[in-house]
Amino acid sequence: MAEFTTQEQFNCMISMCREMFEKKLYDYGPSWRIMRCTSITDQIFIKASRIRTLEVKKESKVGEGILPEFIAIVNYGIVGLIQLELGNTLLLDITNEQALALYDKYAEATTSLMLKKNHDYGEAWRLMRVDSYTDLILTKIYRTKQIEDHCGATLVSEGVDANYMDMINYALFGLIKLHYGE
Q: What is the pLDDT of residues 35-69, one digit of tens each?
A: 999 999 999 999 999 999 999 988 776 777 899 99
Q: What is the pLDDT of residues 86-117, one digit of tens each?
A: 998 998 899 999 999 999 999 999 999 998 98
Q: What is the pLDDT of residues 121-175, one digit of tens each?
A: 888 999 899 999 999 999 999 999 999 999 888 878 888 999 999 999 999 999 9
Sign of CA dihedral 49, 100, 108, 33: negative
Q: How many CB atoms lie within 10 A of CB 22?
A: 14
182 or 30, higher pLDDT = 30
Q: What is the pTM of this model?
A: 0.94
